[in-house]
């Protein structure tokens, strides 16, 4: 199997930070409640930035880290649920900004699992040998755009930011992945778009157990307990299956870079994997949950920390609305 090599990583976090104490001023909560349940102390919130420009800044950092010419990039994959436009795609906006003039552009919406999906898509494009030799993956999210700041159970979780990586093929490199979805859970985490508003539309939306719920369009809704059960089951399953496909065991992994949703979810998932929590690289204390960007940001921070060495075996894992899930393992 053709493997992959991460040539560079980058990230961008908006300068403005909001700590738990600020949330206590707008909803009935406290640092004493938030921190032990989520692991979050502060998070970055956009203040004038746009999703695609955050992504472009992370992309430039990854390109500089890789030391490549943007013209080498054959594919730009951007993951987001918070695009600035219905069209054009965020990948097209970023492509022109960074000068990746030879790249085709694709946006991916798989919620918080999308970074894993995009890495696996990159590997598949690279494996074809059909003109794509370098892939740029960008995960950029502005969850403050979708957050209901009157809902104390969810508003404290989310932050904004972007992460990126440059990937090339590596013959005979170690790689394995499992990505999947369970659409029967689409109502457990969702954010509605508004209904049609044409002057001829008179009928209400057709019956739908989720869309006709009373929550307002444009606001994130999440069923915490059900998501916890799904995540703590599927993240270990995805990593174990990815390891099996790569010909290794999970015990051989040096690092797990998980979706930074909630520290308790990661602790339980690591326990179910039979791995010590010390192998999970966490950033949630200062980033919060940044959806698909969370694992990409964490991978960049791990790379730049000096703790990640060439030859280390790394696993990435995520889960999200859909419900989607995924895990991938590779050699750094």
- List, by residue number, the catalytic residues: 112, 259, 289
Q: How many CB atoms lie within 10 A of CB 144?
A: 20
Helix (H) or strand (E) holding 125: helix 114-128
Cβ–Cβ < 8 Å for 76, 100: yes
Cβ–Cβ < 8 Å for 134, 168: yes
Partners of residue 256 on adjacent β-strands? 280, 315
Cα–Cα distances in angstroms (integers) from residue 41 to residues 9, 51, 218, 303, in the given order:
25, 23, 26, 22
Cβ–Cβ < 8 Å for 69, 100: no
Distance CA 46, CA 13 (A): 8
- Going by C-beta distance under 8 Å and a sequence separation of 6 or more, which residues neighbour residue 323? 181, 182, 183, 185, 186, 188, 189, 227, 230, 234
């Amino acid at each position: 199997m053709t493997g992959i090599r991460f040539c560079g990583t980058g990230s961008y976090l908006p300068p403005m930070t909001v700590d738990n104490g600020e949330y206590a001023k707008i909803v009935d909560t406290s640092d004493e409640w938030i921190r032990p349940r989520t692991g979050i102390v502060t998070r970055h919130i956009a203040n004038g930035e746009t999703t695609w420009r955050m992504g472009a800044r992370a992309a430039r950092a990854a390109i500089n880290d890789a030391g490549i010419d943007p013209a080498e990039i054959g594919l730009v994959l951007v993951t987001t649920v918070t695009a600035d436009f219905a069209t054009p795609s965020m990948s097209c906006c970023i492509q022109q900004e960074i000068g990746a003039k030879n790249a085709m552009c694709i946006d991916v919406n798989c919620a918080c699992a999308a970074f894993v999906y995009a890495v696996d898509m990159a590997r598949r494009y690279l494996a074809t040998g059909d003109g794509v030799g370098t892939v740029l993956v960008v995960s950029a999210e502005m969850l403050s755009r979708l957050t209901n700041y009157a809902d104390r159970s969810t508003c404290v979780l989310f932050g904004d930011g972007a992460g990126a990586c440059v990937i090339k093929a590596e013959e005979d490199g170690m790689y394995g992945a499992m990505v999947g979805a369970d659409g029967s859970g689409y109502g457990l985490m969702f954010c509605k778009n508004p209904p049609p508003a044409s002057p001829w539309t008179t009928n209400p939306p057709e019956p739908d157990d989720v869309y006709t719920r009373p929550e307002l369009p444009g606001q994130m809704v999440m069923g915490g307990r059900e998501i916890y059960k799904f995540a703590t089951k599927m993240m270990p399953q995805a990593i174990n299956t990815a390891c099996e496909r790569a010909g290794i065991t999970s015990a051989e992994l040096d690092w797990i870079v998980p979706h930074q949703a909630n520290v308790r979810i990661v602790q339980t998932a690591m326990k179910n994997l039979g791995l010590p929590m010390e192998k999970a690289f966490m950033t949630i204390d200062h980033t919060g949950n940044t959806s698909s960007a969370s694992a990409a940001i964490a991978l960049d921070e791990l790379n730049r920390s000096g703790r990640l060495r060439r030859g280390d075996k790394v696993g990435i894992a995520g889960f999200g609305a859909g419900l989607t899930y995924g895990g991938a393992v590779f050699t750094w």
